[in-house]
């Protein structure tokens, strides 16, 4: 009897989980489907699925009109570059906060997080001027720095949470065995926090890849990533949904595939320490 109830509950939660997952994934799925329709079919009412006019023309048009490889490479460099640079700064910062906390550590963490609460547009003009004057405008270096700064609070917070789960005694033992600070962080802490660091890295690559305010505002031609590529296919007048969907699919496909392969690491890292 108990077994039967358990199976029913299991079934219920499985169905519920799939329903929520499908609900979340539906916009992405619909974008992908729309990208293979003609413009007329894409806006048909009621929406067409089985009877739609399917075509690959949108992909061919988008490829012909834009230099996709350039946008793609910019996205790769900017998202990976900003994440690695962020980790380089965040690992020692999170270490000190987790293992050598001061009186103001909690306040410092809250202050860092509070910078994420400010709307980006509030600092648009200062950022624009700084980038102009320093020659960082429309450069990959500039965007790596901007996105690193933008995501740094999240990286530090995530790493801090993971590091807090690591018993301080292990690091203490290493120190007693004569490990230097560098060796302690590099050879003891980092390997133990690999799942956390990996999930932080994956999440921040996704955040940087999808960032669309600064990447569009601070670039024109040379450093424009895939967010600018998508923005170029939206139109105020005329039908553009199918081509826009094709451009969006081309832009999200790499990160979707990366997320698919990295999901085990991502879930493991995100639930790290959630249940004791």
Residues that bind other proteins (CB under 8 A): 38-40, 43-45, 65, 124-125, 128-129, 132, 137-138, 216-217, 220-221, 224, 228, 231-240
Instruction: Round to whole Å and give the CA distance between 214 and 136.
Output: 13
Q: Which is nearer to other proteins, 144 or 224 (CB)?
A: 224
Q: Which is nearer to other proteins, 68 or 240 (CB)?
A: 240
In whole angstroms, the minimum distance from the beta carbon of 39 to other proteins comes to 6
H-state helical runs in the chain: 2-34, 39-42, 57-65, 68-99, 105-114, 124-134, 140-164, 168-176, 181-183, 190-192, 194-210, 214-217, 226-231, 241-270
Angle at 124 between CA 120 and CA 126, to 5 degrees: 125
| DSSP per residue, 75-93 | HHHHHHHHHHHHHHHHHHH
In whole angstroms, the minimum distance from the beta carbon of 121 to other proteins comes to 9
In whole angstroms, the minimum distance from the beta carbon of 262 to other proteins comes to 30
Q: Which residues does residue 188 pair with via DSSP β-bridges, in sequence order?
A: none
Q: Which is nearest to 197 in space by CA: 101, 79, 84?
A: 84
In whole angstroms, the minimum distance from the beta carbon of 124 to other proteins comes to 7
Q: Which is nearer to other proteins, 47 or 102 (CB)?
A: 47
Cβ contacts of 166 within 8 Å, gap of 6 or more: 98, 189, 192, 193
Q: Which is nearest to 144 in space by CA: 226, 254, 223?
A: 223
Cα separations in angstroms, 28 against 154, 208, 232, 250, 276: 25, 19, 19, 12, 34
Q: Which is nearer to other proteins, 190 or 217 (CB)?
A: 217
Q: Which is nearer to other proteins, 191 or 238 (CB)?
A: 238
In whole angstroms, the minimum distance from the beta carbon of 132 to other proteins comes to 5
Q: Which is nearer to other proteins, 41 or 204 (CB)?
A: 41
In whole angstroms, the minimum distance from the beta carbon of 216 to other proteins comes to 6
């Amino acid at each position: 009897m108990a077994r039967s109830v358990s199976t029913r509950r299991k079934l219920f939660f499985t169905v519920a989980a799939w329903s929520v997952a499908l609900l979340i994934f539906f916009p992405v799925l619909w974008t992908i489907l729309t990208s293979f329709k003609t413009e007329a079919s894409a806006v048909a009412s009621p929406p067409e699925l089985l009877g739609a006019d399917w075509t690959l023309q949108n992909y061919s048009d988008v490829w012909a009109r834009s230099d996709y490889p350039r946008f793609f490479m910019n996205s790769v460099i900017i998202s990976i570059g900003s994440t690695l640079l962020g980790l380089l700064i965040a690992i020692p910062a999170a270490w000190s906060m987790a293992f050598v906390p001061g009186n103001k550590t909690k306040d410092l963490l809250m202050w860092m997080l509070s910078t994420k609460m400010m709307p980006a547009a509030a600092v648009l003009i200062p950022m624009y001027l700084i980038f102009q004057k320093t020659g960082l405008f429309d450069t990959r270096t500039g965007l790596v720095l901007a996105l690193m700064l933008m995501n740094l609070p999240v990286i530090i917070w995530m790493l801090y949470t993971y590091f807090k789960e690591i018993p301080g005694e292990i690091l203490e033992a290493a120190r007693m065995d004569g490990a230097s600070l560098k060796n302690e962080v590099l050879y003891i802490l980092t390997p133990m926090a690999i799942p956390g660091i990996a999930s932080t890295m994956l999440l921040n690559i996704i955040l940087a890849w999808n960032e669309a305010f600064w990447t569009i505002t601070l670039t024109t031609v040379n450093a424009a990533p895939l967010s600018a590529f998508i923005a170029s296919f939206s139109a105020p007048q005329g039908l553009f949904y199918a081509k826009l969907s094709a451009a969006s699919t081309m832009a999200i496909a790499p990160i979707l595939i990366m997320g698919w392969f990295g999901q085990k690491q991502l879930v493991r890292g995100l639930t790290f320490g959630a249940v004791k």
